[in-house]
Amino acid sequence: MSKQVTLKLGVEKNLKDITVDIADNTPKPWDGGDQLKFIGGKTSRNDGMDKVSGKAKYTFDIQLPGMLHAVFLRSPHASAVVKSVDTSKAEKYPGVKAVIPVKEQWPMAVRFAGQEILAIAAETQHQAEEALKLVAVEYERKPFVVDIEKAKNGKILVFDETVEEKKTEGDAPGGAAKVSQKGNVRGPRTNGNLSQVDTALAGSDVVVEATYTTQVQTHSAMETHGVVARWDADDQLTVWASTQGTFSVRDELADVFQLPKTNVRVYTEYMGGGFGAKFGAGVYGAMAAKLAKKTKAPVRLMLNRKEEHLAVGNRPSSVQTLKIGAGKDGKLKAIKLLSYGTAGVGTGAGSAGPARVMYFTVDNIFTEESDVFINAGPGAAFRAPGFPQGAFALEQSIDELAYKLAMDPLEFRKLNSATDLVRMAEYEIGAKKFGWEKRNPKVAADKGPIKKGYGMANSVWYYITGAGFQAAIQVNSDGSLELTNGVQDIGGGIRTVMAMVAAEELGLQPKDIVVKIGDTQYGLGPASGGSQTTAGITPAVRNAAYLAKMKMFDIAAPLLGVKPEELDLTDGKIVVAANPSKNLTWKQVASKIPGDKFTVIGERLKDHLEVRPRLLAGVQFAEVEVDTETGVIKVKRVVAVHDCGRPMNRLTLESQINGGVIQGISYALFENRLLDRNTGLMVNANFDQYKIAGSLDMPEIESIIIDVNNGQSSTGAMGIGEPATVPTAAAIANAFYHATGVRIRELPMTPAAVLKVLQG
């Protein structure tokens, strides 16, 4: 059954009435006409005090009685075969309780330095690490290749067999399952009509073509990968995991040990970041559980910083040759991208997303992507997988084309985004905040060694959600209320947002809502990836709150002598809508609950309206200073304007955008995995040599969230975590060109790279 409602939908204040069908027993979706108390405002995190006081317990903090500590023995060679392993001395070392190889039988192929060979569990971390030194491994060293260009020729093969893409890799994980492979090259994967695009390019009045390269970036989350595993019975496994997907870890471990999913319980009450690399149980999760089973004791296995750099994921590199064409009128006619990159022994080096969807009205688009295998640690999904790389190339090409047409880069983008009402609003708001009109249209206008420049770049990401997620609300007779779901908080503040949504619907305060998350015994929740968490779980929360409200109305109606539909909830009171002075407090009604309490379950239903296009738009403006004598780029100011549907909590949204910009600056100027071509080893697997932007490198950041009411779900929420990091490097590169008159087409934009292009 369904019911019809009329919604005010649109961008900012430009709204129109749309009639839609929604499911019975669900609330009218929030729209542009609603004046809400909490949603869209700024609410401090409800777990902030726990975090700063140390009360919050991360996986790293878990301590259990009798807990053992585990460590990995990793290969020191980039390519080898493990012929044999002697662990007899290690097994006799004091405190050692178990030694388990990753593979049950030797020989074993090693394809990158840092690959796991075996794990040891001991009473202390020190004992386990000392025991590792006693393991004797016979390696047969093999030729290796860590240079992507050398790997392409296939003289040294990384794999003898076909490699399939994993669900945690790529910009569309699992979407490239059937791709050809020859030598070390997997692909190409193509999209579009090549001959049609070539014809359109030939017919373009203005064409630009260039090649762009981007580096490998490691995730570098504050909390490293790891788990604590405990068997409560032979077939009952409990795991504390630092993960972005409690349910994916549960499912993976259930599969490894051939258990029903209900026999595996995963906790992630707090986690210290992931950025895409923490979706599954990983080798470390499975090995910790195996060690725990063998020793009949809880086992803690947390990776160290070096292991993080080597073995559990990275943003793949890219080499992109981009050719785009336009008419004299400035209208884009064609986009052609040929790209490849390396995710080491993994897949997912695609970077074509922005070329395919940024300017979605362009008729002629062709993209080609390939993975090139090298002997290095595997790539993994990383905050907007493939999109910062793709935007770096595309948005510089767009700028270059605009200059070639003697057009303002902003006006050129407006011309080619005219049907995208969200993006057009962002252009107007962002340009005004940034002061774009005051920008000198002439490039390299400043005299002297310090040159100032202004640039911009577009962001795009997919609107991703899900269905079937369930939020439960329990209302007790003392008026207390508990909201539960198994979702984890990767740092976006979903606990707070869930409390805000429930409080808004129930006429209570967010502090009145006890939120419990990060436990797979609660209802199914989304993984924290693809910017889907808020869009996925908040409709379920609101739907649950609506059902709880209806239940309370049923109890209150006879007490107030009216029908349930005549009631409303506001400021902790259930009131007669036509006569608010006639009311009962929430606690008074709760005290009449039959049986002491009730529980309702709200589900995340499929969207009742299709969002077109299913994309999240954004634009960032950057101001930089370039020291042409030292090559140092200093980002002075960034204005970031983004769409996330209907904003839930502007405080945490601004925090997410700030974080995306900061990570984008770090990617643009500093971060770079360096491999020794002679040894195959990563030479900067630490935070001393692997440079990450610090507080002194940060500019003034102004984050702006625009109001977009799509009415697609009961909350209208969409994501923000990924889009905010997509355009930053491109905006900085375009500002660099405006400052110097020279293009820089490689990342990171280090002083050496800057001086190289400035000196020709």
Most distant CA atoms of the chain, gap in Å? 85
Q: Which amino acid is at 29?
A: P
323: nearest Cα among 198, 455, 484, 491: 198
Does residue 279 form part of some domain?
Answer: no
Are 452 and 522 within one domain? Answer: no
> Is 665 inside any structural domain?
yes
Q: What backbone torsions phi and psi does residue 630 show, to the nearest 5 degrees? A: -100, -20
Residue pLDDT, tens place only, 122-161: 999 999 999 999 999 999 999 999 999 999 999 999 999 8
- Beta-carbon count within 10 A of 685 CB: 23
- How many domains would you assign to the chain? 4
Judgement on whether residues 481 and 544 belong to the same structural domain of the protein: yes
Classify residue 430: in a domain, yes or no.
yes
Same domain? For 512 and 439 the reply is no
Regarding whether 700 and 618 lie in a shared domain, the answer is: yes
Q: Does 660 share its domain with 705? A: yes
* Residue 457 resides in a domain: yes
Q: Please tell me whether residues 205 and 342 are part of one structural domain.
A: yes
Residue 195: both structure tokens together: 């001959």
CA-closest candidate to residue 670, choices 656, 686, 657, 689: 689
Give the C-alpha separation, 155 to 142, whole Å: 13
CATH number for 495: 3.30.365.10
* Burial readout 703-717 (b: 16 or more C-beta within 10 A, e: otherwise): bbbbbbbbbbbbbbb
Residues in the chain: 760
Shared domain check, 522 and 638: no
Whether residue 80 is contained in a domain is answered as yes
Looking at residue 61, its pLDDT comes to 98
Which residues of the chain carry a pLDDT beneath 70?
166-177
- Domain closes at, from 571, 606, 641: 606
pTM over 0.95: yes
Residue 509, pLDDT score:
98
Pairing of strands 332-341, 364-372: parallel
Q: What is the DSSP letter of 286?
A: H
Q: How far is CA 726 from CA 619, 656, 660, in A?
A: 9, 13, 8
Say yes or no: 551 and 651 in one domain.
no
In a domain, 119, yes or no: yes
739 and 657 fall within a common domain = yes
Encoding tokens for residue 178?
A: 């059937």
Q: What is the pLDDT at residue 162?
A: 86
The last residue of one of the domains, among 554, 576, 606, is 606
**Residue 125: which CATH number?**
3.90.1170.50
Q: Pick from 590, 606, 622: which residue ends a domain?
A: 606
- Domain enclosing residue 445, as ranges: 420-461+614-760
Q: 717 with 622, same domain?
A: yes
Residue 281 in any domain: the answer is no
User: What digits encode the pLDDT tens for the residues 375-384?
Assistant: 999 999 999 9
In a domain, 545, yes or no: yes
Assess contact for 343 and 379: CB atoms under 8 A: yes
Count CA atoms within 13 Å of residue 266 on its CB side: 34
pLDDT value of position 382: 97
Task: Please check whether residues 204 and 342 belong to one and the same domain.
Answer: yes
Residue 119's identity, in one-letter code, is: A
Residue 169: its pLDDT value, please? Answer: 46
Could you tell me if 638 and 760 lie in one domain?
yes
Token pair recorded at residue 98: 């178990």
